Amino acid sequence: MIFSRLRGRKRAVRAGTGSYLPPIPLDGGVISCQVHDEQGRLLPGAEISVVDRFSREIASGETDAYGSFLVAVSPGTHKLSVTAGGYRRTSVQVEVGVNQHVVLNRIELEPDASLTLPQPGVWTFDPTHTEVHFVAQHIGMSKIRGRFNDFRGHIRVAPRFEDSEIEVVIDAASIDTGVRMRDDHLRSADFLDVANYPRLTFRSSRLVLLRGDQWQVEGSLTLRATTSPVRLDTTYLGQRKWQGPGFDSDLRVACRAVTSLRREDYAVDWRATLAKGIAVVGPTVQIELGVQAVLER
């Protein structure tokens, strides 16, 4: 691990990536810490910013797979600010001396109270504030970006949120990449075959809390009469009050979700190829969802 002084530049060095602790700089010091969640579990991926006594950021980085972070700084007073999705920001002030290693053994983050889970009931997708996008590789070079314009969905929130159910139905013919000829081809039997399979349907089977605002939604997607398992990596964005047209309730929840689909899982006969054998559309399609849902009354 290369370990250098941090004079006039930002740099963060994470612990746990080598078999030894780097030497402490003779004209500086080292700060190390380990970040935990409210249940005492190690918290990887927490973002840490280090500022000096003049409030200048001198280093930044993330905790490693073991929740650890290590950085070299000049002597003096420093403040570490720790953030992670779903948790309140925590700050710690530390005094670092010359050739000193300051160990902050445990920084514990508390849940963000603003991310209260939605109350039981049926939450319906607001189509004007919900988006279903996709990204696919084109002939191994550029990317095709598109969306589905017509869909509906709902979340049946159970008393225990992990028992909730999600269903999304998408009109396959509403695919839109901004190029009419390409969209017509995508609707054809080579791809979605909308004449015979007009809808794509997702149904959840399991919701799992990973940490903070991070959830894993497991379920199945049916496309062209073929059903395959899908996992949505989901970020819960909390609740807000806002009255939109067409809804009686002003309470809404939001989330972001991403997943990757493999074309061979859905028996899609994407036969168009280049002379060199490169597929016109890559083997995977990235799906991105931005959802706002409103409680039905």
In a domain, 206, yes or no: yes
> How many folded domains does the chain comprise?
2
Of the candidates 111, 132, 151, which is a domain's last residue? 111
Specify the DSSP class assigned to residue 129: G
Considering the domain architecture, whether residues 272 and 127 belong to the same structural domain is answered as yes
Considering the domain architecture, whether residues 49 and 128 belong to the same structural domain is answered as no
**Which CATH number goes with the domain that contains 53?**
2.60.40.10
Considering the domain architecture, whether residues 269 and 178 belong to the same structural domain is answered as yes
pLDDT value at residue 262:
82
Instruction: Give pLDDT tens digits along the chain (297 positions).
Output: 333 333 333 333 444 444 456 677 778 899 999 999 988 999 999 999 999 999 999 999 999 999 999 999 999 999 999 999 999 999 999 999 999 999 998 999 999 988 889 999 999 999 999 999 999 876 556 788 999 999 999 999 999 999 999 999 999 999 999 989 989 988 988 889 999 999 999 999 999 999 899 999 999 999 989 999 999 999 999 998 766 655 556 789 999 999 998 877 776 655 544 444 444 556 788 999 999 999 987
Considering the domain architecture, whether residues 230 and 172 belong to the same structural domain is answered as yes
Considering the domain architecture, whether residues 120 and 149 belong to the same structural domain is answered as yes
pLDDT value at residue 3:
36
Considering the domain architecture, whether residues 83 and 186 belong to the same structural domain is answered as no
In a domain, 172, yes or no: yes
Task: List residues bridging with 169 in a β-sheet.
Answer: 152, 201
CA–CA dist 97, 73 (Å, integer): 10
Considering the domain architecture, whether residues 158 and 282 belong to the same structural domain is answered as yes
In a domain, 16, yes or no: no
Question: What's the predicted TM-score (pTM) here?
Answer: 0.75
CA–CA dist 252, 293 (Å, integer): 5
Of the candidates 111, 141, 162, which is a domain's last residue? 111
In a domain, 8, yes or no: no
* CA-to-CA separations, 48 to 10, 218, 256, in angstroms, rounded: 12, 31, 23
Considering the domain architecture, whether residues 254 and 200 belong to the same structural domain is answered as yes
pLDDT value at residue 10:
37
Residue 81 structural domain = 29-111
CA–CA dist 186, 150 (Å, integer): 16
pLDDT value at residue 174:
97
Considering the domain architecture, whether residues 83 and 179 belong to the same structural domain is answered as no
Considering the domain architecture, whether residues 122 and 266 belong to the same structural domain is answered as yes
CB 262 within 8 A of CB 270: no
Considering the domain architecture, whether residues 152 and 189 belong to the same structural domain is answered as yes
